[in-house]
Amino acid sequence: MSMSRSSNPTELLYGPLHFTMLMTWVGLYRFMSYQGIVIMSSMIGDGIAPLAASCVQNSHTYRIRPLGGIKSWEGSVGVCIGTVFAIYTFSYALGMEVLRSGDIVMFGVLASLVEAASPGRFDNLSLTVLMDFSFEK
């Protein structure tokens, strides 16, 4: 028995392994920062996407070419809402000042777009890199 959705053990090399390595990196290098909050929140949103898509019987699918996999509109909305909700939650939990509402919504939309356009198994890596680079340095 494996922890993958398709019972394919190689699937574990992508999603959970990438997620664990990226969260370790965030904990070491972006702890208690807004970049860390946004990156972790986008991962929460990415995790909510399949749940949001499964709540609808006939989900509406699309694909952003050339790299993007088949995604659902419901899942993309789930990424956006999950990211926005998680940014507020992490900000309050860490006792940090909450970002402006417009910025939070922008990060939610950006997370949805990045997740939709990212190559199949590399969405966690794409989200982390692009959300980190979305901040002014």
Q: Tokens in use for 21?
A: 């390595």
- Evaluate whether 21 touches 90 at the Cβ level (below 8 Å): no
Q: Tokens in use for 78?
A: 């789930």
Q: Which residue has the tokens 């909450």?
A: 98
* pLDDT attached to residue 119: 81
* pLDDT attached to residue 3: 57
* pLDDT attached to residue 100: 94
Q: What is the pLDDT of residues 81-117, one digit of tens each?
A: 999 999 999 999 999 999 999 999 999 999 999 988 8
Q: What is the pLDDT of residues 47-90, one digit of tens each?
A: 898 888 888 877 788 888 787 778 889 989 999 999 999 999 99
Closest CA to 43 of 114, 96, 101: 114
1 falls in which pLDDT band (50, 70, 90)?
A: very low
Percent of the residues in the chain that have a pLDDT greater than 90, as a whole number: 47
pLDDT of residue 135 exceeding 70, the answer is: yes
Q: Tokens in use for 48?
A: 């909510």
Q: CA–CA separation, 35 vs 55, rounded Å?
A: 30
Decide which of 70 and 26 is more confident: 26
DSSP assignment string, 8-75: -GGGGGTHHHHHHHHHHHHHHHSTTSHHHHHHHHHHHHHHHHHHHHHTSSS--EEE-TTTB-EEEHHH
